[in-house]
Structure 1
Amino acid sequence: MITLPPQFDHWFTQRGWSPHPHQVRMLARSDAPALMLIAPTGGGKTLAGFLPTLVELGAAPGPGLHTLYISPLKALAADMRRNLTAPIDEMGLAIRVEDRSGDTTQTRKKAQRADPPHILLTTPESLALLLSYEDAPRIFAGLKRVVVDELHALAESKRGDQLMLCLSRLQALCPDLRRVGLSATVEDPPALARFLAPHPTACAIIEADPGPDPDIAMLTTDNPPPWSGGGGRYAIREVLEEVAKHKTTLIFHNTRAQAEVFFHELWLANDAGLPVGIHHGSLALEQRKKVEAAMVAGQLRAVVCTGSLDLGLDWGDVDLVIQVGAPKNVKRLVQRIGRANHRYNAPSKALILPANRWEVIECHAAIEAVLAHDLDGDPRGPGPRDVLCQHILITASAAPFDADEVFAEVTTAGPYADLTRRDFDACLDFVATGGYALRAYDRWQRLMQRADGLWQLRDPRLAQQVRMNVGTIVDTDKLKVRMKGRSGASGGKPLGEVEERFAASLVPGDTFLMGGKIVRFESLREMEVQVSRDRGRKPKLAVFSGTKFSTSTQLSSRILDLLHRTPLPDLPRHTLDWIELQREVSQLPRAGRILVESFDHEDRPHTCIYGFAGKNAQQTLGLMVTRRMEELGLGPLGFVATDYATLIWSLSHLDNPAQALDATGLRDGLDGWLAENALMKRSFKGAATIAGLITRNLPGKRSSGRQATFSADILYDTLRKYDPDHLLLSITRDEAMRGLIGFDRIDGMLERTGGMIDHVHPGRVTPFAAPLFLEVGKVPVNGAGQETLMRAEADRLMIEAGLI
């Protein structure tokens, strides 16, 4: 057991500090094989994770790599280097700390491999790259500890799955390696501990005092929110007033597009000239770094941001967080709230601004959940097989391997603890041959088995290609945006990225927002969007690929509970009146049942299904129910969906909703619908890219997004026709069911309700259904209903022309 040496105790005392109890406990348990600390933001959890390393190296700073720090963001690694350098220098410790990411120069990376620092701060992708080199055993020979920061964030994505596979490889290279996980928001600590180390007894959990509850409320506005849409522009004036009253405010948005629009409107209304900035993942690195530096220097009063600032960076002067739009997820809201008052035992202050009437209810439910410490989170499924395929390629790039040994390693990774040998062998066969339908093509013959039974790359030159494509982040095809240089030359200031399909829709003179500025499209040169400044017209909206959140099932349950309380909670008068009117005209949705409303609007039958299953699932429900209505001859014409409901319009009423909402019928119709759906091709492209079937980056060139999509579509159609049981088609279906189409949410909804349906005929549009008529994203159904309307319109025109 390690205790705090006098040198460290003196350092704390000089600053008027004393170690927090959880930091002392982490030091005392530092010899544990795996340790997870759960501490609130500002609770010194990162220092707690590093204290054992600093103490050990302070006593005996031997050569070589001692501790590896993994964070989900490059900015966190750089920030951590600055934070660690201060105590190391002030205590005179002979400890070398360096960071390594995609921004590190090749010269520096080469030097780090030859002479690793004592502490290396990096990302999951950079670790995977290091493990792909043949000298990985030497690089990691003396590794004693790995510290994983923001573990909860990594556990929610494939980046975390890849990291756990890398840790299984590291553990094989360094059997005595100790794992440390750090996290602030955890809904199920034992499950996260199993993710970090699969054996329940292997990972000890230390929970710090959570500190005081946050000071959180809804932002009071003079005008009620709009009936639909998002963005919060109706409350720009109130937001500016809050910014003026605080030192530094972070204004969070759920999407990059909403952040751009809000920042532009904020800037136009900023008569006081308050210094404000914008930060999101599609902006150029230079601009993001500039904003981060200004924040650290205390030069900004507010930053409009997205999930790019959810994690990590220690900005003590942030004293207010404003969440614009319903957070959709309580855990995400808690994480964002924690960015304010980044100090232990100081309450964080936050305001939530609902973007529309439905979100008023959701925001109230989210605030209640935060104060009740009721975090949400969907259970993690098994480790994805496309990530495993990439890991096998990375392993082969480093050295020939024994399949039995790699299988044993992989099953020590938490997400893959239950992996069967059959599934592992299927992944190995795919990596080696491409699978049954593709094994005749040389380009997918990547591994060969030697006479001694070991597997190796068929061509050693393939290792470079593998390294160029490491990672599980599959960006939607994006193009760089750059200011047009003098005399039309390229090389102007980089601004960020937009999606390729958005760029393809532009013609010279079109304007759009980028970094809060209106820019004018000039040309597309060498796969770059060339723009100039434009201070005039209303801009088009750039399409950014950021994550589209769906309301969590736990938060949806709270909303349903809230609607049936007596009396109703303390909501704004306009919202209370809206709820009461819904009760009078129709009825309120309730837990354990599905509410279906049937009414006419503009002489057209409409059906509104309240499933509260999240946007993706409600969208899929619309597709599935209209498909069933088509089979029943009801002539569905289109639908629109929100997180809470799906509105369908048709030629005939759905008199028996149970026919369309039967669980067996929906599942039976799913496979045929999925096979032809564009979402499946999108999901296939992502899985094929991660698994290595589609190569985006090749030595000396990079394929465009359109080329990659074209290749993916051909491969998908080929495999469906000739090898329907192909591994990647199975992976694609699993991915789509869990993510893009949300059918698991539909399954959960049907299971919770047990087929119980409340079918009402209110006789007119209902208060809860009315906002859906204003939603964007209406989906037409091209079936018998549209054909009937076209025939009727043709007959009308012919009669008018005197031809009939």
Structure 2
Amino acid sequence: MRSRTESAALTDLPPIIANWFAAKNWSPRTHQLDVLQSWNAGASALLIAPTGAGKTLAGFLPTLQDLIHTPHEGLHTLYLSPLKALAVDVARNLTTPIGEMGLRITVETRTGDTPAARRQRQRYDPPNILLTTPEQLALLTSHPDAHRLFGSLKRIVLDELHALVTSKRGELLSLALARLAKLAPQMRITALSATVARPDLLADWIAAPLPQAPTHLLTASGGAPPVLHILDTDDRLPWAGHSAAYATPALYETIKQHRITLLFVNTRSQAEMLFQALWAINDDMLPIALHHGSLSVEQRRKVEAAMVAGTIKAVVCTSTLDLGIDWGDVDLVVQVGAPKGSSRMLQRIGRANHRLDEPSKALLVPSNRFEVLECEAALEAVEERHQDSEDPVSGGYDVLAQHILGMACADPFAADDLYAEVRRAWPYRDLPREKFDRVLDFVATGGYALRAYERYARLKKTAEGLWRIANPQVAQQYRLNVGTIIEEPMVRVRLVRGRGHKQGATTGPIGRGGRVLGEMEEYFFGTLVVGDTFMFGGEIVAFEGIRDNEAFVSRAFAKDPKIPSYMGGKFPLSTYLAERVRKMIATPEDWRRLPHQVSDWLRLQRDVSTLPGQESLLVETFPRGTQNYLVCYPFEGRLAHQTLGMLLTRRLERSRARPLGFVATEYALCIWGLGDLSALIRTDRLSLDELFSEDMLGDDLEAWLDESALMKRTFRNCAIISGLIERRHPGKEKTGRQITMSSDLIYDVLYQHEPDHILIQATRRDAARGLLDIERLGNMLRRIRKHIVHKPLDRISPFAVPMMLEIGREPIFGEGRESAMADAADELLREALG
């Protein structure tokens, strides 16, 4: 039965929509009607609803109502999504009911995959509803006719907002929203999300550009709890590594038992490996596909169409399919490798049985023993519906520089007016005028150290005191390079006729200038020689050569092809899951839930050494061969551990402990050297409290950054986003080597002559927040102060076995690698047990 509120709200629906619901034997959900009522009240809204609750329809009900009551010329609703695939999916889900109702409402998508002719036409003849991405919105607002395109805009729908507000894409989006609020002050925003830890902050985020309008925070209750399991196996659980090869036979049987299975992995390399492993045992010739961001758009669309048609059995995928996608009859989600966060896991689980009243079903497959602990922690967190999504972030100067240049491309502006507009974007609400002026000066001249070079003079001041672009080429270059997603320099991978190399005997000619398989990071091809084989797009190919920005490959046969490695795509372990893992280890009564291999491992560690405490830090030292080792277990994620390793080795050098190197994982850090670390600590020549003192984040960090290539790498990204270095030029694209050389030269000039340059400041901020995880490391150092437990050992401990395997990893692939790792683990464990 409907409540009185629902019945009253239903009368507000146009009869054509109410009849459509009735024909489907459906009733609008309360939260869908709440969004409609918020719109009718002239308010913006943030809807927090579980996966499968009909958020998309909730977001568009006000649009359909409005367009039915009042036919609208031009753009009425702008939908923004973090994924191109999600925009395409939503367009499909929206056009179906529009067609069934017989409404004359036009819907189109606009992404980087949209043909240029259609994108050009959309500026002059827009649809009623345009579904696009933050990058395309920035591009559209940079045109002089933006006021005509957006002047009729009434609504903005922001989908999966939580996935945008923690990144530079969100910063760019917030600035574009502030501009739209000026062009279309009548517009209102509806934001949708399923996984939000702090809804109040997100509500403030969408309210910032429209302070004159109220913002309603709406929530949807209900939803069947998900059904989760961790793979139960008698096979040997690996000690280290991320391939999860041991689970391939079990996964194949699982796929056979379900209609459509989505197998999520955390990196594109893992996707390629898992797909190849499944095909190697696919005796039943099941239709199994691969989907990740490096594949060509044609390949991805083909997989998506097969999911819709139900002609596919399983898809191995990365985060390209984990946000809001509702394709096909997916009845199982598999997470291969630890999920790194409960919010991300909830999001991925929701792809199965994408309906509010049916439980989603998911299987977690840990890749190694430490990941078993993390998977167990994630399972508990998901069962409790705990959210650990990150909070929105403050705005960066490089993104602001890009926006300022875009606004100059649109129209000449007064600095005072643009500053006031920028302050209406939530990430820049506290931006000091002095910083704005410095960013503006950088955009106009390059700053003090670069103003002598005419190429950096991108803005000029008019006689009326307005800022305009220096010449039309500035606008052309801006539009070619807009966006904040910085991947490693990419080259197209084109399939051509092979030449029959020994390592890659081809299957035959396929026609000259064959199809583009996708894109791969440029540096990978620097590791290959002609004839080398590797996996890409689910095929084994042989490298034939590279010219300009295209790598040529041919189909090949090979037993041990290389696995491409990608620089991006790794997720950090969430703080919340790290806390749960430490608690689990320190609570033996919780071990009964763990596989016997893992619980036995914990008991061995307790017997041979000791267990890390929930709030303390365990530091083990032991000799092995001619070297000495220090292993600690902070469980704070790879980024924080890598930074800690860099800083600790500097301090150990000063203590004459003669460190040789370190390796960091998500869970632990291992440093090795020639000095007797146990003796140094025992004789008080090395104090662990001083070694792990928080002051390492002061002078030691600064000194290391001054020497590190990390700053130059981070500066390169900031320089690209700010427009100082351009990746693309008409008809060509810079190689990675050209970009690196340009950015390194500029960095050296700025660091020497203007060390407080606004881009150097942006670089330090990015390094601290993203690449070094300084805040998290600082919190950890404060937590363990006076709570460091030192355990000197005469041999390796069971917990240190995975770390020693990380040190000794060799570039072996396939079954050979798994066998070598298992043999090495056996030897290390025998050593640990004496």
Structure-2 separation of matches of 1:456 and 1:264: 53
| CA positional deviation for 1:107 | 2.4
Q: Tell me, what secondary structure is at the counterpart of 2:799? A: coil
Give the secondary-structure state (helix, strand or coil) at the position aligned to 2:589: coil
Q: Find the partner of 2:794 among 763, 786, 789.
A: 763
Q: Are positions 1:76 and 2:107 aligned together?
A: no
Which letter does structure 2 place at the counterpart of 1:698? H
Residue 505 of structure 1 corresponds to which residue in structure 2? Answer: 527
Cα pair 2:335 2:365 within 8 Å, conserved: yes
Q: Does 1:38 align with 2:38?
A: no
Change in Cα spacing, 1:153 to 1:777, as seen in structure 2 (3 Å) is farther
Q: Is the deviation greater in 108-117 or in 357-366? A: 108-117
TM-score by length of 1: 0.94
| 1:544 Cα deviation after fit | 2.1
Contact 1:638 1:650 (8 Å CA) reproduced = yes
Other-structure match for 1:746: 777
Tell me which of 92, 99, 124 is aligned to 1:89: 99
C-alpha change, 1:63 and 1:80, in structure 2 (3 Å) is same
Q: Tell me, yes or no, if the aligned pair for 1:660 and 1:666 is still in contact at 8 Å.
A: no
In the alignment, which of 191, 195, 202 is matched to residue 201 of structure 2?
Answer: 191
CA offsets, 1:554-586, max 9 Å, x none?
110011111122512410111111111111222
Please tell me whether residue 4 in structure 1 is matched to residue 13 in structure 2: yes
In the TM superposition, what is the alpha-carbon distance from 1:103 to its structure 2 partner? 2.2
The answer to whether the 8 A contact 1:397-1:457 is kept is: yes
TM-aligned CA distance change 1:413 to 1:187, over 3 Å: same
**Alignment counterpart, residue 727 of structure 2, candidates 689, 696, 718:** 696
Which residue is 1:204 aligned to?
216
Q: CA deviation at 1:744?
A: 2.1
Cα deviation digits, residues 181-212 of structure 1 (max 9, x gap):
01111111111222222369942111111412
1:150 to 160, 165, 173: 160
SS in 1 for 2:612: coil
- With structure 2 as the length reference, what TM-score do the two structures score? 0.91
Q: Which residue of 1 aligns with 2:567?
A: 545
Q: Report whether the alignment pairs 1:677 with 2:708.
A: yes
SS of equivalent to 1:350: strand
For 1:340 and 1:755, the matched residues in 2 are separated by 47
Q: 2:34 aligns with which of 6, 11, 25?
A: 25
Deviations 1:509-529 (A, max 9, x none): 100000121111111123211
When structure 1 is superposed on structure 2, of 659-668 and 345-354 the one drifting more is 659-668
Shift of 1:421: 1.2
Q: Pick from 628, 635, 658: which aligns with 1:605?
A: 628
Which amino acid counterpart does residue 161 of structure 2 have in structure 1? L
- Counting only pairs closer than 5 Å after superposition, residues 515-534 of structure 1 correspond to structure 2 as 515-534=537-556
Amino acid at match of 1:231: S
**SS state of the match for residue 620, structure 2?**
strand
Q: How far off is 1:742 after superposition? A: 1.8
3-state SS of paired residue (2:468):
strand
What is aligned with 2:386? 374
Equivalent AA in structure 2 for residue 529 of structure 1 = A
Q: Distance in 2 between matches of 1:115 and 1:279?
A: 33
1:180 is aligned to 190
Whether the 8 Å contact between 2:295 and 2:517 is mirrored in structure 1 is yes
SS of match in other structure, 1:648: strand
Question: How has the CA–CA distance of structure 1 residues 298 and 444 changed in structure 2, closer, same or farther, with 3 Å as cutoff?
Answer: same
Q: Does structure 1 residue 493 correspond to structure 2 residue 515?
A: yes
| Structure 1 Cα separation of the partners of residues 392 and 781 of structure 2 | 20
Deviation, structure 1 residue 47: 0.6
The answer (yes or no) to whether the contact 2:38–2:44 under 8 Å persists in 1 is no
Instruction: For structure 2, list consecutive stretches of 5 or more residues without a partner in the other structure.
Output: 1-8, 499-508, 682-686, 811-834
Residue in structure 2 matching 1:303, options 301, 315, 326: 315
The superposition leaves residues 665-719 of structure 1 with CA deviations (integer Å, 9 ceiling, x where unpaired) of 3421111111221221111111100001001112232211110111111111111
Matched, 1:721 2:752: yes
Residue 640 of structure 1 corresponds to 663
Q: Does 1:283 align with 2:305?
A: no
Change (3 A) 1:776 1:510: farther
SS in 2 for 1:775: helix
Per-residue deviation, 1:145: 0.6
Q: Is contact 2:85–2:320 with CA below 8 Å preserved after alignment? A: no
Letter paired with 2:700: G
SS in structure 1 at match of 2:32: helix
Counterpart of 2:798 in 1: which secondary structure? coil
Report the alpha carbon displacement of residue 74 of structure 1 after superposing the two structures with TM: 1.8
- How far apart are 1:289 and its partner, in Å? 1.0
Deviates further, 749-758 or 183-192:
749-758
1:146 CA displacement: 0.5
8 Å contact from structure 1 (residues 316, 342) kept in 2: no
Question: Given that residues 252 and 323 in structure 1 are in contact (C-alpha distance below 8 angstroms), is that contact kept between their aligned partners in structure 2?
Answer: yes
Secondary structure of 1:620 counterpart: helix
SS in 2 for 1:611: coil
User: How far 1:267 moved relative to its partner?
Assistant: 0.4
Q: Does 1:335 align with 2:366?
A: no
What letter is aligned with 2:610? Answer: Q
Q: Bigger shift: 494-503 or 251-260? A: 494-503
Q: Determine if contact 1:480/1:527 at 8 Å carries over to the other structure.
A: yes
Mapped partners of 2:808, 2:494: distance in 1:
30
Which of 539-548 and 676-685 deviates more?
A: 539-548
Equivalences for residues 131-280 of structure 1 within 5 A: 131-198=141-208, 202-280=214-292
1:319 aligns with 2:331: yes
Q: Which residue of 1 aligns with 2:23?
A: 14
Q: 3-state SS of the aligned residue for 1:181?
A: strand
Give the partner amino acid of 2:29. H
> Which letter maps to 1:291?
V
2:594 corresponds in structure 1 to: 571
Q: 1:756: Cα distance to partner?
A: 2.5
Shift of 1:778: 8.0
Say which is worse superposed, 315-324 or 646-655, in terms of deviation: 646-655
In structure 1, list runs of 5 or more residues that go unmatched.
Answer: 780-804
Matches of 2:50 and 2:753 in 1, distance apart? 53
Per the TM alignment, residue 451 of structure 1 is displaced from its structure 2 partner at its CA by 2.4
Change (3 A) 1:711 1:537: same
Distance 1:238 1:503 in 2: 34
> SS of the residue aligned with 2:135?
helix
The structural deviation recorded for 1:290 is: 1.0
SS at match of 1:497: strand
Aligned length: 779
| Alpha carbons 2:477, 2:728 under 8 Å: kept | yes
1:409, CA displacement in angstroms? 1.0
Q: Aligned-pair distance for 1:32?
A: 3.8
Q: In the alignment, which residue of structure 1 is the partner of 2:827?
A: none
- Alignment partner, residue 108 of structure 1: 118
CA RMSD of aligned residues (A): 1.8
Match of 1:130 in 2: 140
Is the contact made by 2:113 and 2:297 (CA closer than 8 Å) also made in structure 1? no
**Residues in 2 aligned to 1:500 and 1:641: alpha-carbon distance in whole angstroms:** 26
Q: Secondary structure at the match of 1:597?
A: strand
Which residue, 634, 647, 650 being the options, matches 2:673? Answer: 650
Q: Which amino acid aligns with 2:762?
A: I
Check 1:140–1:558 CA distance in 2 against 1; reply closer, same or farther (3 A cut): same
Give the drift of 1:113. 1.5
Contact 2:198-2:391 within 8 A present in 1 as well: no
Alignment of 1:404-419 (within 5 A): 404-419=416-431
Identity among equivalent pairs (%): 51
| Cα pair 1:33 1:177 within 8 Å, conserved | no
Partners of 1:279 and 1:288 within 8 A in 2: yes
SS in 1 for 2:97: helix
Q: Which moved more, 1:152-161 or 1:554-563?
A: 152-161
Query: Given residue 23 of structure 1, which amino acid in structure 2 is its aligned partner?
Result: Q
Q: Does 1:631 align with 2:654?
A: yes
